[in-house]
C-alpha cells in the first residue's frame, strides 16, 4: 500500500486479574476488569488446559458461553509445556479473516476480545501466574482527560476513550471483531476520537490512505474520504497526504455524477463500473459485488426484527437528500483543499459546484409548508437524517434553521450509534447543547449508559441487540462522545491547521462543573468551567506555546476574547 506514514509496532501489555475465584465446578474464574483484544498467558505446566474466554457474564455471574449476536466467546484447548510462558493460541475465525479483513502481524499472532476467562480444573492454579495480554497501538493514557459533575457522563467518556485505545489492535481502524474490515464512516469517527484522546495523527492518516486505495461500497463512505483528508490536515497541520492523494480525493467528491442542477445519484448512468474503478472499487479487497449504494444509516429495517432499522423510515430514492448533503459538504472541503495546495482553478470549480448543488437542495428537497427537508426528490417523508445532516454540514439557511432544529430535537435518538455523530454535531452547532447533553447522559435503551449497565467496557455496534441482532461489543463507531465531549461540550476545535489558532466555545448546558485536557501538536489545552451559586460562570483556560485561543462562552454577549499562550481566568 502507498502511504505517507510508517506506523509504530503494536504494543502488548500484560494485565493481572482484578478478581478471581473457584466456581462450584472447579473452574478458575478470572475478571481482568476490561475487555481487550489479545490472549492469555498461562504458567508452565505439563498438563493440558481447557480455557474459555469471552466478553459477557450470564445471570449466574459465569462466563456466557452462548452469547447472542456477535458478542464473543471461545473455547480453546491448549497443550501444556515446559516453557516459562504458555501463550494461548487463538484459532483464526472465518468471519474476520476474509479477503477484505486486516490480518494480525505474524509476530503477535491471532487475538480475541475478552474480559473474562474460565480455566477448567483450575482449582490449584495460582491466579497471579496468569496474565491477560492486551494488544493495541501505543497509547498515552495521560494525554487527555474529561470530568464533570455528572457521573453518567463521566462513565460514558471513560467507555468511549478506552474503546478508541482498545480497537487499534489491527494497526488500522476496523469495524470491530466480526469482520475486521476498515470502513470509511467508522474510520472517520475513530479518527476524530483518536485525535481527542491522544496526541496521535499517523494512525488515522494511515487508515485514511488505506481506505482511499481499498474503499468499501456505500456512497456516503466515498464522500467521507474527503472529510477524513480535511480532518487530518486541520488537526495535524501536515499536507503531504493531501498532495499525494489529491487526484483520488477529487474523484471521491463524486462531482462527475452531477446532473445539470448539481445533484447526484448513484442510479445515474454515469455511475458505471468504470467510474467505480476510478474510485478503486472492485479490487481484491472489495467486500461486495453490487457496486456503490446509498447508506444513510445502518442497519436498514430489513436487518432487524420487526423492521425497525436506524433510518427513521427514510425513503430511499434515487436522488437522496442525505447523500447530496454529504456531496455538497465534500465539495466545500475539496475547495479548501485545492486552496491549500495552490490549485486556484479547482478551488473555484468545487466552490461553484457546491453552491449549485446546495441551491438545488433548497429548491427541490425542502418542504416549505412543514419547514423540513424531505428524504429525496419526489418524497413527502421527512426523516431525522435528512435534516440533521443538513444542519451538521451548515447547509440550512438562517431563516430555516429554527424549524429544522425543532424537528430534529423532536425525533430524539432516532438514529444509530453512527448517526449520533451528526445528530450531536447538528445540535451543538446550533446552540442546543442541553439537548445534546440529555442524549449523551440518557439512561434508556438507546444510550451509552445502556452499554455500560449491560457490562460492556467497549462501545457497541448498535444501541441494543433488539436494534441489530448481530451486534458486537467492540465497535468504535459507537464511541462518538470521545470526540463530541472535547470538541463541543468543552468546545475545543482547531480554527487553523495544526492548532495554530483554536476555538474554545464551551456548551456545558446544565452541568455545574466540567473540566478537560485536549491534546494538540503543541501540547495539551486545558479547560475548566464552574457555575457558582452566585450565578457567575468561571472559565479557566491554559494554552500551550504558539497557540492562540478564541474564547466564546455560549450564551454570553459581546465579541469573542482572543487569548495568547499561558493561563487565563474569565468570568461571565
Is residue 132 a contact partner of residue 40, using CB atoms and an 8 Å limit? Answer: yes
Report how many domains make up the chain: 2
Q: Given phi > 0 = left and psi -120 to 50 = alpha, else beta, which region is 571?
A: beta
| Domain limit, last residue, from 120, 136, 152 | 136
Is residue 240 a contact partner of residue 264, using CB atoms and an 8 Å limit? Answer: no
Is residue 107 in some structural domain?
Answer: yes
Is residue 554 in some structural domain?
Answer: yes
Is residue 44 in some structural domain?
Answer: yes
- pLDDT 10s digit of each residue in the chain, 572 long? 899 999 999 999 999 999 999 999 999 999 999 999 999 999 988 789 999 999 999 999 999 999 999 999 999 999 987 677 799 999 999 989 888 999 999 999 999 999 999 999 999 999 999 999 999 999 999 999 999 999 999 999 999 999 999 999 999 999 999 999 999 999 999 999 999 999 999 999 999 999 999 999 999 999 999 999 999 999 999 999 999 999 999 999 999 999 999 999 999 999 999 999 999 998 877 777 789 999 999 999 887 766 779 999 999 999 999 999 999 999 999 999 999 999 999 999 999 999 999 999 999 999 999 999 999 999 999 999 999 999 999 999 999 999 999 999 999 999 999 999 999 999 999 999 999 999 999 999 999 999 999 999 999 999 999 999 999 999 999 999 999 999 999 999 999 999 999 999 999 999 999 999 999 999 999 999 999 988 899 999 999 999 999 999 987 777 899 999 999 999 99
Strands 501-504 and 548-551 come out as: parallel
Is residue 553 in some structural domain?
Answer: yes
| Domain limit, last residue, from 106, 136, 166 | 136
Domain with 564 in it: 501-571
Q: What is the 3-state secondary structure (H, E, C) of 186-248?
A: HHHHHHHHHHHHCCCCHHHHHHHHHHHHCCCCEHHHHHHHHHHHHHHHHHHCCCHHHHHCHHH
Is residue 89 in some structural domain?
Answer: yes
Is residue 101 in some structural domain?
Answer: yes
Q: Which residues contact 422 (CB under 8 A, 6 or more apart)?
A: 388, 389, 392, 415
Strand partners, 86: 42
Is residue 141 a contact partner of residue 509, using CB atoms and an 8 Å limit? Answer: no
Strand partners, 562: 550
Which CATH number characterizes residue 549's domain? 2.60.420.10
| Domain limit, last residue, from 69, 103, 136 | 136
Is residue 491 in some structural domain?
Answer: no
Which CATH number characterizes residue 86's domain? 2.60.120.260
Is residue 297 in some structural domain?
Answer: no
Amino acid at each position: 500500500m502507498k502511504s505517507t506514514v510508517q506506523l509504530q509496532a503494536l504494543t502488548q501489555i500484560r494485565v493481572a486479574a482484578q478478581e478471581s475465584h473457584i466456581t462450584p465446578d472447579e473452574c478458575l474464574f478470572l475478571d481482568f476488569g476490561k475487555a481487550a483484544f489479545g490472549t492469555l498467558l498461562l504458567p508452565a505446566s505439563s498438563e493440558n488446559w481447557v480455557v474459555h474466554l469471552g466478553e459477557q457474564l450470564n445471570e449466574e455471574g459465569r462466563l456466557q458461553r452462548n452469547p447472542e449476536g456477535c458478542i464473543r466467546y471461545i473455547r480453546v484447548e491448549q497443550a501444556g509445556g515446559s516453557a516459562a510462558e504458555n501463550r494461548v493460541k487463538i484459532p483464526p475465525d472465518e468471519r474476520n479473516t476474509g479477503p477484505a479483513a486486516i490480518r494480525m502481524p505474524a509476530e503477535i499472532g491471532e487475538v480475541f476480545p475478552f474480559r473474562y476467562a474460565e480455566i477448567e480444573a483450575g482449582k490449584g492454579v495460582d491466579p497471579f501466574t496468569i496474565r491477560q495480554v492486551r494488544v493495541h497501538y501505543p497509547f498515552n493514557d495521560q494525554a487527555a482527560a474529561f470530568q464533570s459533575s455528572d457521573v453518567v457522563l463521566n462513565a460514558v467518556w471513560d467507555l468511549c476513550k478506552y474503546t478508541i485505545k482498545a480497537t487499534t489492535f489491527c494497526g488500522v481502524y476496523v469495524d470491530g471483531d466480526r469482520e475486521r474490515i476498515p470502513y470509511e464512516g467508522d474510520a472517520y469517527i475513530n479518527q476524530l476520537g483518536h485525535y481527542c484522546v491522544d496526541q496521535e495523527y499517523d494512525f488515522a492518516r494511515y487508515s485514511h490512505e488505506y481506505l482511499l486505495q481499498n474503499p468499501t461500497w456505500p456512497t456516503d463512505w466515498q464522500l467521507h474520504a474527503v472529510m477524513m483528508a480535511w480532518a487530518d490536515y486541520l488537526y495535524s497541520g501536515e499536507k503531504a497526504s493531501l498532495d499525494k492523494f489529491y487526484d483520488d480525493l477529487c474523484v471521491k467528491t463524486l462531482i462527475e455524477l452531477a446532473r445539470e442542477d448539481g445533484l447526484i445519484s448513484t442510479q445515474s448512468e454515469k455511475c458505471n463500473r468504470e467510474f467505480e474503478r476510478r474510485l478503486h472499487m472492485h479490487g481484491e479487497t472489495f467486500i461486495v459485488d453490487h457496486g456503490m449504494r446509498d447508506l444513510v444509516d445502518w442497519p436498514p429495517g430489513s436487518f432487524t426484527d420487526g423492521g425497525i432499522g436506524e433510518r427513521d423510515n427514510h425513503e430511499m430514492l434515487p436522488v437522496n437528500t442525505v447523500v447530496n448533503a454529504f456531496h455538497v459538504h465534500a465539495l466545500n472541503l475539496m475547495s479548501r483543499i485545492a486552496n491549500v495546495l495552490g490549485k486556484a482553478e479547482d478551488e473555484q470549480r468545487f466552490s461553484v459546484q457546491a453552491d449549485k448543488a446546495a441551491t438545488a437542495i433548497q429548491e427541490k428537497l425542502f418542504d416549505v409548508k412543514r419547514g423540513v427537508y424531505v428524504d429525496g426528490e419526489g418524497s413527502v417523508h421527512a426523516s431525522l437524517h435528512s435534516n440533521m445532516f443538513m444542519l451538521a454540514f451548515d447547509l440550512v439557511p438562517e431563516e430555516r434553521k429554527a424549524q429544522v432544529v425543532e424537528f430534529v430535537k423532536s425525533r430524539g435518538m432516532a438514529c444509530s450509534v453512527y448517526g449520533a455523530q451528526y445528530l450531536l454535531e447538528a445540535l451543538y452547532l446550533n446552540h442546543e447543547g442541553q439537548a445534546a447533553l440529555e442524549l449523551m447522559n440518557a439512561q434508556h435503551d438507546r444510550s451509552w449508559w445502556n452499554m455500560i449497565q449491560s457490562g460492556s467496557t467497549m462501545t457497541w455496534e448498535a444501541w441494543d441487540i433488539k436494534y441489530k441482532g448481530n451486534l458486537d461489543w467492540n465497535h468504535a463507531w459507537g464511541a462518538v462522545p470521545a470526540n463530541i465531549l472535547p470538541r463541543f461540550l468543552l468546545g475545543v476545535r482547531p480554527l487553523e491547521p495544526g492548532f495554530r489558532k483554536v476555538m474554545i466555545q464551551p456548551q456545558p448546558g446544565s452541568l455545574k462543573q466540567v473540566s478537560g485536557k485536549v491534546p494538540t501538536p503543541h501540547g495539551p489545552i486545558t479547560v475548566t468551567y464552574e457555575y457558582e451559586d452566585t450565578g457567575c460562570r468561571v472559565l479557566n483556560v491554559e494554552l500551550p506555546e504558539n497557540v492562540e485561543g478564541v474564547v466564546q462562552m455560549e450564551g454570553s454577549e459581546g465579541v469573542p476574547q482572543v487569548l495568547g499562550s499561558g493561563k487565563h481566568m474569565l468570568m461571565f
